[in-house]
Structure 1
Amino acid sequence: MARHRGQAERAHANVDLYLSLTTAFAVRGLRAFAETMTAAWTDETRAVEGRPDAQEEAVALYTMHAAKGLEWPIVVPINTMTGIKAPDSAITDRDSDTFYCPVFGVKPAGYEAVLDAEKAELDRERIRLWYVAATRARELLVLPRLDAAQSKSAWISLVDLSLTELPALDLSHLPEGMGPTAAQAVNVQTRDSFAAEAAAILNKRRRLVWLAPSRDESHAGPVLTPEAAEIWAAGDDGQPDDEGLALSVQGGRERGLILHKLLEEVLTGETDAGEAALTNRAKALILEIGKPVLDDSAKGLSPRELAGCVVRTLNLPAIAELRPSLVPELTVYATVEVDGVEQAIVGIADATSFDSHGKPSVVIDWKSDVQPTAATIEHYRAQVRAYLDMTGIERGLVVLLTSGQVITVNLSLTAVDG
């Protein structure tokens, strides 16, 4: 329809014909059909085109150009009183390929003769089109005989069809009428009834809103609340110093993406958990995102620092205990109805631990911030709590990869249906 606009009947018929060829391959299958069609195309096998008028009493509208090569039982040329289009002022001599164009109203030498020749050639082409139109009918050609005077520039004036000498179309054998017209229903709808029907339709409409905790969205509102919580304290013994890390590690989105990717590949078994393998993989990931590989982590992405961060995280007691059952990148869904609107909540947990019965028990969210604020950490808490509410899991962990701090999050009192 987009290609042929109002003349798509022929293309539709060819599509129907092509699809009808598949019936013979119901048992042999799609591969056999594809191979047969490929062989026919390669061998340039000729095939009969589809017939848009194959359906009984079908009516097709075609231009004279598009009707070439087609036939119908009955053909009725229409719009023949339309004036023909005059040739453009810029023309080309068909014999010498010389271009003629008036410039500021001044016509070049020989322009009139070339213009007359072009008009004569266009008239001959239109007469040939009339021949095409008049020979498309297998049984009956119906030429409209209009009472209006014919213009010399109209299509009907290009050829002498002797309309006055042709007999009128005999329709006496057809029934005079098409039968009694069915009584039309009276529209009794009032403004009030229309408003009531519109309100009924509106009430039956089902609305769905998608929310993502990672974008500070939840069924209860933004997950980032203004409440402050005392959660950022000095690290435990053996963990890197917070202020020292802020000075020696440059954070950023790219660093977070690579850390998440490395942890995912370790948990899936794609990458070895050894520091050497992680360093090589981190270097490859840095090059893939088009960033320079540096030795100084304070100036950019350092493969050694990224690998060391992953190794420290996996060796944390809370993570090492859960590592055998951790599954990375687990998508969770939940729905809840709020004020008559269904809200679908979707999120991806960085890692999820399953118990011996195959039930999820812990949700883990990796965070790569170098020195997060208290409000940011509270946001992370709320995000993990939203995952817990969606899944019914009772415990979650926010793991700050850079500092090695592990923050425990518990299930809230209310949860949605997961």
Structure 2
Amino acid sequence: MEVYAKTLKKYGIPVQMSGGSLLSDVEELKEFIILLKFLRDPENQVLLVAVLKGIFFGISDKALAEYRLCGGVFRPYAEIPADLPEEIASLFRTAYEKLLMYLNWTRNNPPVTAFEKIAQDIGLIPLVLAGTEGQTGCGYIIKILEILRRNAVSGFSDFNSMVDRLDAIVNANLDEELDITGEERNAVRIMNLHKAKGLEAPVVFLANPYKKPNIAPDYHIQRAENKSVGYFVIKKKTGEFQPKRILAQPLNWAEYEAAETRYLNAEETRLLYVAATRAKNLLFISCCEKNNNKNPWEPLLDFTDTSKDVYEIPEIPVPKPDYPKSSVYIKRKELEEYTKHVKELINTAERPTYMELAVTDVISEDPLPAVKGGLGPEWGSAMHEIIERLVRDEAYYGNCMDLILKRYGFTEPEHGKQAEKLIKEFKESELYSRILNAELKLTEIPFAIRLESGDAVYEKLGINDSLPVILHGKIDLVVKEKDGWAVIDYKTNHYETEEQLNLLIRHYSKQIEIYCSVLEKILNEKAVSGELYFTGHGLVKVVP
């Protein structure tokens, strides 16, 4: 089917395929999946090298070798060797900055949002559109994105699951391609016989006058109304071009084989009937010049007159682009009017119909109390991730603390000791005991919710506007206890005095209140408390 689709497109004929796809030909999509797999497993150096060599960054083997010989490590947070030539160093610097930005997106956005942002930043759709399967490839990507959006509700909850789902979609191929040009009604539809059942067209071509050689069945299914029974021949492969050797077969196999052969022949006859009855006005039957022994349409040829009905296919040159033979001139006034019209269209299209906000955007309007000291926001992100790993599953917590600290650049022994001290305090805290005894615990919960003006949650955002808001964020921890749901957010800010701590509590109170309201709106259940956990201090109840 793909061969026919490509040939028709070469002649400028719109095509739509059913029952098959060209996904395997969209190289840009396959490269994008490799990138997503690396973002799922950023410690995988093989995937990182594949990404760096790929079409998105295009770093040559020579540059990769020189980077490695200069002592470079294939990790996005690694330092660039000082003695690496600047032209090569800039390639790695740019690539690593991009990859770290993408990693941050995967951690702080819902999975599908991360997919869209990365695809947009990397230029996936323009790159596919410029390729050999431009419109078809773009149609596939848009359709895949819609499938992921639809499945996001129940099919997966994190980035890793989304990558697995995407990989499964590509390996399985899409059943239908998506038309993005509006030419679908006037397109030639290419489909297999099973897809053609129930459809009709004025003109139908029965193409591909070849089929696989007849091979005796090695199974038989007794198809009954209530249940089916199967009989199978066990074979062993003896060589690439050698027939398989039979190891075992059911008693009376010759009878079962004959019955299955009759069934398969009858199925071919039924499909042949489907093929012959799809055309309203004209039916073209493909045939071979020499013999039609392997032609699936051969029985239909018996009803044709080869002296009258044969249609010789003419040689048609591939069309060349139709450029104007002479220059086209327009008046200045016409150009100005047209330019004005286009600007009006652009201004209308640019006018927002909704707002997109993160919860962190809302609280960032209030200045964060400045306290000198601490190890900076990277330390906070590292501790945040370590606590999240511990809470998710202590059995698999293992030595991930050291790996996470190294990933954020904390390699000194005192960093490990400080992290161990904070984790020890966390495990001895009242919160950890509640987590272990909770009916249900949920960690790192991404959400995106549409809020209309007048909604109670909308009012808490403090927006002086009436546009709908898409509010997104990620809740660190939610536990279901006997009394109901508790929302907990970890904070790793450095503070030295009780007054500084109280300032931090007031600053983050709005965030935890919004999280509680959002959780109630999504689950339609009451959040009985909203709490902040400060490392080095403990729990602070904010709501109610």
Q: Same fold (TM over 0.5)?
A: no
* Structure whose residues are more often helix by fraction: 2
Return the TM-score normalized by structure 2.
0.32
TM-score w.r.t. the length of structure 1 is: 0.41
Bigger Cα Rg: 1
